[in-house]
Amino acid sequence: MSHAAWAVKHKPSSLDEVVGNKETIQKLIEWVKSWDAGLPKKRAVFLYGPTGIGKTIAVEALAQDFKMELVEKNASDYRTEEAINHFVRLASQFSSLLGGKRIVLLDELDGLTGTADKGGVKAITDVVKDARCPIVLIADSAYEPRFLNLRNYCLLLEFKKPAIGEVAKYLNGICEDEGVQADETALNFIAQRSEGDIRSAVNDLQAVAQGKKKLSYEDVSWLGYRDRQESIFNVLKMIIYAKTCLSAKKAVDMADVDIDMLFEWIYENTPDHLNDPYDLANGMDALSIADVYRARIRATQDWSFMRYVIDYMTAGVAMARCKSKTSGWIPFRFPGRIQMLSRSRFERATQLSIGKKVKRKCHISARRATREFLPYMRIIFKNNPEMAAGLVKWFDLDIDMITYLVGDEGKSEAITKLLT
């Protein structure tokens, strides 16, 4: 158990142990108690606030304190009306097998706002209207446009980021349980850097304190803001040369590019930095599996596969590096596939623009103009500047079109001089 995640190992088991939001939690308690007097006006509570501040843990602790059966699911796993009715409606209508009280928790309601939502929000709204047991909905924001009608039937309770002092006090309790003597300045530093994300604060504490007897400010001063953005070169270095899976995966949060672009950067540079054939084979195998999951996401719009994409493209590549040796500084290269697509996209756009110019004068389709006229125009522009200048005037071509047709900036300047 010594290597278990501290965020799980030290998870609050009662509401008294939940960090911060005491007034909001008290309102949640009062709402649950109101069910003893009959069906309340609001049969669901909508908890909203930033990730990692204790919304889900508060509900789990509430169920513990009130000895209620907790039926907990991620709403993102039940996006369609049929799925909602199959699970949520049944759960909200019947008590537990032993006749006790039940509370239904639908977490990550934000997952219902994507393109895959086919009546899911409406189905939840209908379930909430006639629920026979308490329902708790959780999302980062309760004010998504699709939640407009749903909000009318819910008690809205906002969870806010806890104070730095509250987070530091909670971290100190964990240190005492783990036998770590921690400086107050070190814990305050971790609490401040987490920006209210308790889960992240505990993860950072474990990263710097596990295995130690004392924790000083010097031990934590290297930690950066969790949401900072690093240059893509630093992120690549953190991933490819990571010593642990966790550190490789954490680097994703620091990247200033999206996942697809980061994948291209890793794909382009892995062969240069995994110079052992065995390592390279394993690294590219991990990237191929990540690419399979990317394709599944595009085909199904099931974003739950994203965790596997990230795992294989980061930790998979990092752990493949076993025998590779570093021989001097190896620069990181911009993804060649992106460069090729960018050039191709610009070229096609320029061709189409010229085709439209020809279309207006010759009364043919732009596609036909691109296919049949452009090859001859390029020959003229490369070999006959005077005739090319005449075509520029007639078709009203701009400088980018001229440069594309002639393929040489020097010759394009010679043509434009003839126009003056």
Residues 162, 49: Cα–Cα separation, whole Å: 11
118 bridge partner residues:
80
Q: Are residues 293 and 245 in the same domain?
A: yes
DSSP string, 339-396: HHHHHHHHHHHHHHHHHHHHHHHH-S-HHHIIIIIHHHHHHHHHH-HHHHHHHHHHHT
CA contacts within 13 A on the Cβ side of 70: 19
Domain stop point among 158, 189, 212: 158
Q: Are residues 136 and 33 in the same domain?
A: yes
pLDDT of 405: 87
pLDDT of 1: 38
Place of tokens 């399979």: 292
All residue ranges of the chain with pLDDT < 50 are 1-2, 113-117, 225-229
Q: Are residues 34 and 138 in the same domain?
A: yes
pLDDT of 79: 52
| Backbone angle region of 137, left / alpha / beta, with phi > 0 → left and psi within -120 to 50 → alpha | beta
pLDDT of 320: 94
CB count within 10 Å of CB 414 equals 14
Domain of 100 in residue numbering reads as 21-158
Residue 307, token pair as written in the block? 């965790």
Residue 29, token pair as written in the block? 């308690």
Terminal-to-terminal C-alpha distance of the chain: 82
In whole angstroms, what separates CA 49 from the centre of its chain? 17
**Residue 16 domain-assigned?**
no
Which residues, 6+ apart, have CB-to-CB distance to 236 below 8 Å? 265, 266, 269, 332
Q: For residue 204, which amino acid is it?
A: D
Which CATH number fits the domain that encloses residue 109? 3.40.50.300
CB count within 10 Å of CB 331 equals 7
Residues 387, 182: Cα–Cα separation, whole Å: 81
Q: Are residues 243 and 278 in the same domain?
A: yes
In whole angstroms, what separates CA 231 from the centre of its chain? 18
**Residue 62 domain-assigned?**
yes
Q: Are residues 67 and 142 in the same domain?
A: yes
Q: How many domains does the chain have?
A: 4
Alpha helices (runs of H) in 2-132, residue ranges in sequence order: 6-9, 22-34, 55-65, 81-84, 90-93, 120-129
**Residue 227 domain-assigned?**
no
Residues 147, 125: Cα–Cα separation, whole Å: 9
Q: Are residues 133 and 184 in the same domain?
A: no
* β-strands 135-139, 102-107 pairing: parallel
Residue 119, token pair as written in the block? 């009546």
pLDDT of 101: 84
Which CATH number fits the domain that encloses residue 175? 1.10.8.60
